[in-house]
Structure 1
Amino acid sequence: MTEAQSYCREKYTDLATIDNMEDVNLLNSMVDLSRMIYPTYSYLAWIGLYDDVNSWRWSLSDRSFYTQEEAEFRNWASGEPNNKDNRQYCALIKDGQWADKSCDVLSTAVCMDVRGSNVTFVFISKTMTWTEAQSYCRANHTDLASVRNMEENQKIMELLPSRQDIWIGLFRDSWKWSDGSNSSFRYWITGEPNGPKENCAVADFSSSGKWVDVICDHRTAFICYSGKS
């Protein structure tokens, strides 16, 4: 994908960003499989979507709450985050340190109440998925907890009635567009993305242009775009 990205940026604008089904239908009408002559993956083409495995951010949307240093504070356990099975997009505290887990795991959580510069943490004993915990905290408090330093990490640990894992508000803001677009449109084949170390996306024109995650060093066709409409 890197070679394709460099070519598109040199000759055009960037690898293709796909914003909606109109774009998908346009590409399907333009594709000519007889010209996609690679011996394998001859029906696939790179688009500009990639998985930024190091892009973690806090659920709390009020970014003015943080200084840059606080926003970047991390307390990962050794070997974490490891994105096991390419499915671990959410963070929890485990034995005082952090680990990435599948967001569908059921766990207790810690919410936060923010009143100006005053922050209070609240332990929630109900077990929920990360998304359920986020919704609960936003409905009943301010948000899932942001942990800005070791002092706050310790305050959270002191709330726990027993040794257990708890969700915090950190999640991996993963699939992004090469050109920096904030488009949230996705058109994955059912079951995708699914592969460990498959951090780049292709359009599969044997499946109506739906997307598949693949290893980034495959050699295949690619789609550039020029300018913005």
Structure 2
Amino acid sequence: MRSSTNATLACSTEVEHPIIMAVEQVTKHLPLGQERVEILKGISFQVRRGEFVAIVGPSGSGKSTLLGIIAGLDSPSTGRVLIEDLDISHMSESRLARIRNQKIGMVFQAFNLIPTLTAQENVEVPLYVGEHKGSPAARARELLGLVGLSHRAHHRPNQLSGGEQQRVAIARALASDPALIIADEPTGNLDARNGEHILKLILELRERTGKTFIIATHDPVVASQADRAIRIVDGLLGDIDYSQRVITQ
């Protein structure tokens, strides 16, 4: 009876939280003179909808390369990446740009806001690419409210603190209602206090929106809050920690 109940629970979990991303035997190598440098050596893992997954590993481990590939910013040498069963690994750049706009929100360590635009205008930018319902301005205002920056909507990046700029960047990543948010060291350029605030915001947004978050980080505090941490070591998959709130670094 117990095994039947467990099987039912497992099936229920799979239905409620289907696989949103599958990374299958991804490799990446680059030429260096007559040699070939192996950066990723066959990485495979899956991410379910609504998960918060941390990707950890030392500098030079291949973590940033992997993040670029799963974000559709780079292509693997072999293997593939599927987002909602759609293979993004070797698409044309024009089609890939549309897919990124529809399915992937990116948050960068350096914020990457457009300096001449206000906070609201920066959040609106993804909504002028492709087809999106409603008013870009209204959507931007809604998201700035969600990240606690309604009062800063008409300020430019140089008028905002680092923490505020990263909040704008997170709002922008959510603008097109993507399937998942991929963040590269989102607290890396912030002091401890602002980094803590951004982590708290990410946890709150995940709870409120149900979005999937994949975050590459060196910060053990960030990694400790993930559902699981995937460790990359010398281009290979290290231990995957499936126990909640435990670091594999």
* TM-score over 0.5 for the pair: no
Name the structure where helix makes up a greater proportion of residues: 2
Q: Which has the higher contact order (CA 8 A, sep 6+)?
A: 1
Q: TM-score range by the shorter chain?
A: under 0.3
Provide the TM-score with structure 2 as the length reference. Answer: 0.22
